[in-house]
Amino acid sequence: MTPLVPFVRSPDNGPNAALVDALCRAAPDLDVRVLGEIAPERLHEVTVAIADGPSEGQLARLPNLRLVQSTWAGVEAILPVLPAGVEVARMVDPRLAETMAEAVLAWTLHLHRDMPRYARQQRNGQWIVHELVHASHRRVGVLGLGVLGRAAVETLRDHGFDVTGWSRSPKSIDGVECFHDGLDGGGVDALLRRSDIVVNLLPHTEATTGLLGAAAFAQMPTGSSLINFGRGPTVDDEALLAALDDGTTSGASDTGSRVTGARLDRAHLEHAVLDVFVTEPLPEGHPYWSHPRVTVLPHVSGPTSAETAAVIAAANVRAFLVDGTLPADALVDRTRGY
């Protein structure tokens, strides 16, 4: 009998026909079906499922479930609804890493070349030239050195930036200074203090919630910027807005004036590029929408590629069904949350 593999996605997220079609093409030897289309009397056959953001109760309908293959790099939507004793594998896709690294580079360049400031000047009718900072003098710090973070720091390094990274466990990357320790250790603070641009790629866990708050922003140099492509809860929204509105330099070193011909236009944090939020879509009327020092993106920095994710998911599912093999590079530690 052809193994039955449900595709599990919350109805709140709407359908994802493109991914389902890609999974069917990648796994013609498997019976891939949307969970709601499977007869209740057959649910006991299922030992592995492919999840694209399940809702509470969906996975609990599968009494013999042993493995969930996520189509997302993050698993914070799965862990709270995952039955006890079930393994979960996140999506590790080289194309996703490449796409995220491209986004990190694009928005780092946007900040590096002062695009937000020039946009404000245009709105104000100001013709002001700012001194160019060369990439080798622009310090970029990346929080999170997993698959996506490693690709990002290597891309930034190859474009000439002065790059550092932080991870929970020790990492070694040529040409990149790497810090490591617990989130309450000195490595994160050291990275924040020396970074003109901080890029967050950390997952959403209990330990990372609120990590980038008032104390963290106070460590960052005046005039520095933030890119959040990790998860929304890592950032304390109120603290970020306060830092963007704060023109003082209390407790922080200045990156230096590089402006000619006009009064400095500096807040403690120069700009924030935000792609992820506590609530998505970002609610109407949220202060981020209209803030002149915030760029809002609709969670587009690292989208799942249906074609490549389907091939990877199918291979992992097939290996598990053959002999119970688990994808070692993608298996999630439920105690850590990633």
DSSP 240-282: HHHHHH----TTS-B----EESS-----SEEEEEE---SSSSP
- Asked if 331 and 89 count as a contact pair (C-beta separation under 8 A), the reply is yes
Output the DSSP codes for 65-109.
Answer: --EEEESSS--TTTGGGPPTT-EEE----HHHHHHHHHHHHHHHH
| Residues across the chain | 338
CA 3 – CA 24 distance, rounded (Å): 13
The residue among 21, 62, 16 whose CA lies nearest residue 42 is 62
Distance between the two ends of the chain, CA-based, in angstroms? 34
Look up 117 and say whether it is catalytic. no
Return the structure tokens found at 224.
């520095």
Which among 231, 266, 268, 293 is annotated as catalytic?
231
Q: How far is CA 303 from CA 73, 74, 128, 177, 332, in A?
A: 9, 11, 37, 28, 20
Token pair, residue 125, equals 């009718």
Residue of 66, 299, 318, 334 marked active site: 299
Active site residue 299: yes
- For the chain, the farthest-separated pair of C-alpha atoms sits apart, in whole angstroms, at 76
223 torsion bin: left (phi>0), alpha (psi -120 to 50), beta (else): left
Place of tokens 């390094």: 157
The answer to whether the beta carbons of residues 188 and 210 sit under 8 Å apart is no
Q: Which residues of 114-148 are buried (b: 16+ CB within 10 A; e: fewer)?
A: bebbeebbeeeeeeeebeeeebeebbbbbbbbbbb
Token look-up 């330099």 returns 249
Residues annotated as catalytic (active site), given as ranges: 231, 299
